[in-house]
């Protein structure tokens, strides 16, 4: 009985590590997407300002 619990908790630990890693990757890619759209917005604004002059 104890062996099953030990194995399960080890599996759970590995699962948690994987889930945490996946979550952090998702978070960072979300942040990356934000900065990407932000930089493209800045470029568009700069482009418009150049066209005006």
Residue 48 CA from chain centroid, whole number: 31
Concatenated DSSP letters for 1-53?
Answer: -HHHHHHHHHHHHHHHHHHHHHHHHHHHHHHHHHHHHHHHHHHHHHHHHHHH-
Q: Please report, in tens digits, the pLDDT of each residue of the chain (53 residues total).
A: 678 888 888 888 899 999 999 999 889 988 888 888 888 988 898 888 888 76
Q: What is the pLDDT of residue 53?
A: 65
Report domain extents, the chain. Answer: 1-53
Report how far residue 25's alpha carbon sits from residue 31's, in angstroms, rounded to the nearest whole number. 10
pTM: 0.50
């Amino acid at each position: 009985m104890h062996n099953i619990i030990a194995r399960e908790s080890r599996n759970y630990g590995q699962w948690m590590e994987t889930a945490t890693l996946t979550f952090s990757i998702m978070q960072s890619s979300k942040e990356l997407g934000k900065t990407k759209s932000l930089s493209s917005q800045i470029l568009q604004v700069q482009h418009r300002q150049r066209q005006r002059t």
